[in-house]
Amino acid sequence: MAETFPAAVRIVEVGARDGLQNETATVTTDTRVELIDRLASAGLRTIEAGSFVSPKWVPQMADSAEVLRRVTRRPGVSYPVLVPNLQGLEAALAAGVTEVAVFASASEAFSLRNINCTIADSLKRFEPVLDAARRHGVRIRGYVSCVLGCPFQGTVPHDAVTGIAGSLLSQGCYEVSLGDTTGAGTPRAARAMLEAVLRIAPADRLALHFHDTYGQALANIYACLSLGVSVLDSSIAGLGGCPYAPGATGNVATEDLVYMLHGMGIETGIDLPKLLAASAFISQALGRRPSSRVARACHRSA
């Protein structure tokens, strides 16, 4: 039987957060603001703008309040930020956010390294965060990290992933993004993990977040796309990685994802030439080539 794919996909652009949080070159606040504005004008409707975490842990995101203040807020565009605790939420509310994301891990070892607490403590810590966010009418997204393996403990069982995803949804997250933090996952493993999560959650409450460390992200997405998930996270120019996942590189590049989806006849609402201009802009600011294959191919043929 022919596979069916969604007619349209919503892309969650994470380059200005997941990407820039892991770049060693510091970009100015102006650059981050211009990047976000360019991404919005390319048609992205969900653009992670930063995180309200400890500046000692992730100094690259320390100017997130200033970024939010300066970004041109376009109607219909959401600019979520990551918050690990109530302190982060309060700072995010003061900066006028309308959407936040909390992040938990399916791996105990990664949770300790990334947010300095156990998985159980992190879920407990989210309760007042989610309550306060709800009271302020702020939408909450959830992340589960290490869904296809952990840089410290190796294998992560499906039960751990479904357990955390289920908790985040029952705590009130409108959507849970399943993160292959290390980028080590391969297509059959990715599909089997998603099938396990789909046994406890509907496809329209899930998103996929593949890092491309091993070059598997597009293949993993393709393998999962016919299971009904239609929200995909990606990073402009393939920027980034997680500072607490050693060796992990950026997410699948947004340009490569859009190119593949458009080639498959799947709508994204994104203007690829404008996206490529945003990719060239941030790559130049960082002084490096984009890891996007599409950006490189289009640059050669321009």
CA distance 144 to 190: 14
Under rule CB under 5 A, residue 256 binds Mg ion: no
Give min distance, CB of 293 to ligand HMG, in A: 21
Q: Which is nearer to Mg ion, 79 or 143 (CB)?
A: 143
Work out how close the CB of 216 gets to ligand HMG at its nearest, in angstroms, rounded to a whole number: 14
Decide if 17 contacts 51 (C-beta within 8 A). Answer: yes
Q: Residue 259: name its binding partner from ligand HMG, Mg ion, none (Cβ under 5 to 8 Å by kind).
A: none
Task: Tell me if residue 173 is catalytic.
Answer: no
With contacts defined by CB under 5 A, name the span among 2-10, 17-25, 111-119, 186-194 that binds Mg ion: 17-25
Q: Round to whole Å and give the CA distance between 242 and 258.
A: 23
Residue 112 binding target from ligand HMG, Mg ion, none, CB below 5 to 8 Å by type: none
Q: Which of 11, 12, 13, 18 is in the footprint of Mg ion by CB under 5 A? A: 18
Please say which residue, 250 or 276, places its beta carbon nearer to ligand HMG: 250
Binding positions for ligand HMG, rule: CB under 6 A: 18, 21, 51-54, 57-58, 82, 84-85, 87-88, 91, 103, 114-116, 143, 145, 179, 181, 209, 211, 242-244
Q: Which does 54 bind (CB under 5 to 8 A by kind): ligand HMG, Mg ion, none?
A: ligand HMG
> Total binding residues for Mg ion by CB under 5 A?
1
Burial label, 228 (beta-carbon count in 10 A; 0-12, 13-18, 19+): middle
Each residue of 113-147: b (16+ CB within 10 Å) or e?
bbbebebeebbebbeebbebbeeeebbbbbbbbbb
- Asked if residues 210 and 190 have their Cβ atoms less than 8 Å apart, the reply is yes
Q: How far is the CB of 300 from Mg ion (least distance, A)?
A: 29
Calculate ∠ Cα 39-43-48, nearest 5°: 45
| Alpha carbons 154 and 152: distance in angstroms, whole number | 6
**Nearer Cβ to Mg ion (18/212):** 18
Catalytic residue among 146, 150, 242, 298: 242
Output phi, psi for 282, to 5 deg: -75, -30
Closest approach, Cβ 17 to Mg ion, in A, equals 9
**Beta strands per DSSP E along the chain:** 10-13, 46-47, 50-51, 81-82, 99-105, 139-145, 175-180, 206-210, 231-234
Which tokens in the block code for residue 89? 């939420």
**From Mg ion, ligand HMG, none, which one binds at residue 116 (CB under 5 to 8 Å depending on kind)?**
ligand HMG
Report the residue number, 57 or 222, with the smaller CB distance to ligand HMG.
57
* Positions in the binding site for Mg ion (CB under 5 A): 18
The residues assigned a catalytic role are 242
